[in-house]
Structure formats: C-alpha cells, structure tokens
Amino acid sequence: MSHSLVVQLNLLLAALILLSSFALLMQRRMFAILHIFAWQGFFLGVSTAIIGYASGVHHLYLSALLTLAMKVLLLPYILYKLILKLKIRREIENMVNVPATMMIGIALVIFSYHLTEPIRQLSVLMTRATLAVALATVMLGMLMMVTRSHAVSQIIGFLAMENGLFFAATSATYGMPMVVELGVALDLLIVAFIFGIFFFHINTTFDSLDVDQMAKLKETD
C-alpha cells in the first residue's frame, strides 16, 4: 500500500462519515437511525486503524478496536433493546422542515471548513484535511439534537457528536492518550445506562418519548 493510497482511503472514509452525519439528520425511522449510527462507528474504526497503520502510532489499533466494539456493537445493541422494551418500534417522527435543516447543515460544513483553515495550513500531519469534516460532524450532531423531537434521536445526536470529537482527535494529534480513551469509553457506557433509566421515567410520566411533551412542565403559560 503506497502512502498516498492510504491517505486517499482516509479521505474516502472521512467523506463517508460526513455523509452518514447528513443521513442521520434526515432519517425518520428509528431502526434506520441506529443502522446509520453503527455504520458511522464502523467507518470511524476503520479510519482509525488505517491512520494507525500509516503513522505507526500503534495504540490507535486498540482505539480502533474499542470504537468498533462500543459504537458498532455495544451501544446500538443497548439502544435497540431499549427501543424494543419501550415499545416504540417503528415510530416515525415529525421533523422540522427537512430542506431547511439540510441547508443549515451545509452552511455548518462550510463554516467549519472556514474555521479550520489556519490549522490546516500549519499542520504537518497527513490527516490535516479531515479536521474540517470532524468539526462538521460535531456540529451536525448538535444540529440533530436541536431539530429532533424524540428522545432516542437526541441520544444518537449526542453520540454522533462524540464520534466527531474522536475523529477530530485522530485527525489533529493522531489520537488521545490511552487513559483518556478508556475513560471516555467508560463514560459513554454509563451515559447509555443513565439515559435508559431516564427514558423509562419519561415514558411513564408522559406515556411517550416525545420530548416536546416536556413543554407541559412549564409553570407559566
């Protein structure tokens, strides 16, 4: 594998990660969102492994393995079980104006490209071009949390943000120290469990997981 081929593969995977972020923004069905999130985790893991191979930073292999285990297998499985238990099988939610969301998404990508311009000029790493994609993924994850009205989709948005941050770490500095990685992974697992508990509570109180229902909590009218 020549060096430039590795870089090209990395760029291709970055593009696929960006595509999956947009697909998450636009998708309405619960199970489809889970699948896309799993794919995003897969692309992320493979990309980390490739960077680990090309740069010789070997602990990235462990990170890749961890990512694949957590984000492709474990987290989607937990959420899938949650969805089944809460009996929200095929819920299709109403979304705020899909075309407007897409336009805002494109604007965010352009904005993050503009933001990372100085870093791109200074960095000597081969992954400098993908930093913009990573930042865009974070912002698109946040956009997903803002535009969705179902609790599970908001969780996925949060997890997508974390994906973006992880990708940014590998792009900017060839990964975080292993201790930090393990800590973050553990935090994610705990978050998943806590959200599960909260979902049960919300479901029992409001009989649905539509977070717009929380507007009933307002004191004044």
Partner 1 sequence: MSLHPLFIELLQVALLIALAPAFAGWVKIVKCRLQGRTSPGILQPYRDIRRLFIKDVVLAQNASWIFRFTPYLIFGVTVLAGGIIPLISTDLPLADTADIIALVMLFVIIRFFTALAGMDIGTAFGGMGSSREMMVSALAEPAMLMAVFTVSLASSSTSLTRMVVVMSQGEFVIRPSLAFALMAFILVALAETGRIPVDNPDTHLELTMIHEAMILEYSGQHLALMEWAGMMKLTLFFALGIAAFVPWGIAAGGQPLALLMGAVLLILKLLLGGVIMVLIETGLAKMRIFRVPEYLGSAFLLATLGMIAFFILE
Partner 2 sequence: MTALDITGFSILLLLGGAIACPLLARRERLLIPVAFTLAALASGGVILSGFLTLSQGLNSAATIPLGLPGLPFNVRLDPLAGFFLVVIGLVSLFVSIYSIGYVRGYLGQRPVTPLVAFYLLFLAGMLLVIVADDAYLFLVAWELMAAASYFLVMFEDERAENRRAAFLYLLVAHVGALAILLAFGVMAGVATGYERFDGYTFDAMRGAHLSPGWSTAAFFLAFFGFAAKAGVIPLHVWLPEAHPAAPSNVSALMSGAMLKTSIYGMIRVGFDLLGEFPWWWGGIVLIFGLLSAVLGVLYALMQHDLKRLLAYHSVENIGIILIGLGLSMIFTSFHFPALAALALVAALYHTLNHALFKGLLFMGAGAVIQATGERNMEEMGGLIHPLPWTSALFLVGCVSISGLPPFNGFVSEWLTFQAFLLSPALPQPLLRLLFPLGAALLALTGALAATCFVKAFGVTFLGAQRGHRKVEHVREVGPAMRLGMTLAAVSCLALGVLPTYAVGLLDRIPRQLMGGHIGAVAGRFGWLWLTPASAERASYSGPLVFCVISAVVAVTYLLLHVRGASIRRAPLWDCGFEKITPRMQYTATAFAMPIRRVLGFLFDIREQVELISPVNHPVMADHIRYRLRIRDRIWGWLYAPQAKAAFWIARQVGRLQQGRIQIYLLYSFVTLIVLLAFLG
The single-letter code of the amino acid at 203 is N
- The correct pick among 24, 54, 133, 159 for binding partner 1 (CB under 8 A) is 133
For the chain, the C-alpha Rg in angstroms (whole number) is 18
Smallest separation, CB 188 to partner 2 (Å): 34
- The correct pick among 36, 54, 132, 202 for binding partner 1 (CB under 8 A) is 132
Segment interacting with partner 1, rule: CB under 8 A, options 8-16, 38-46, 58-66, 78-86: 8-16
Smallest separation, CB 122 to partner 2 (Å): 15
Segment interacting with partner 2, rule: CB under 8 A, options 4-12, 70-78, 108-116, 153-161: 108-116
Find, among 139, 113, 108, the residue nearest to 128 by Cα. Answer: 113
Partner touching 117 among partner 2, partner 1, none, CB below 5 to 8 Å by kind: partner 2
Structure-token match 């975080």, residue found = 176
Q: Return the number of the residue (63 or 101) whose C-beta is nearest partner 1.
A: 101
# binding residues, partner 2 (CB under 8 A)? 4
Q: What's the rounded Cα separation, in Å, for the pair 98 and 109? A: 17
Q: Return the number of the residue (49 or 182) whose C-beta is nearest partner 1.
A: 49
Smallest separation, CB 95 to partner 1 (Å): 10
Site for partner 1 in 86-115 (CB under 8 A): 98-99, 102, 105-106, 109-110, 113
Residue 12 makes contact with partner 1 by CB under 8 A: yes
Spatial CB neighbours of 50, under 8 Å, sequence gap ≥ 6 = 6, 9, 10, 13
- The correct pick among 113, 158, 200, 206 for binding partner 2 (CB under 8 A) is 113
Q: What's the rounded Cα separation, in Å, for the pair 37 and 141? A: 11
Q: What's the rounded Cα separation, in Å, for the pair 163 and 21? A: 10
Take residue 17 and report the two structure tokens written for it: 């990660």
Residue 206 makes contact with partner 2 by CB under 8 A: no
Query: What sign does the dihedral 10-11-16-20 (CA atoms) show?
Result: positive
Residue 15 makes contact with partner 1 by CB under 8 A: yes
**Chain centroid offset of residue 129 CA:** 19
Q: What's the rounded Cα separation, in Å, for the pair 14 and 137? A: 10
Structure-token match 């973050």, residue found = 184
Q: Return the number of the residue (134 or 192) whose C-beta is nearest partner 2.
A: 134
Partner touching 114 among partner 2, partner 1, none, CB below 5 to 8 Å by kind: partner 2
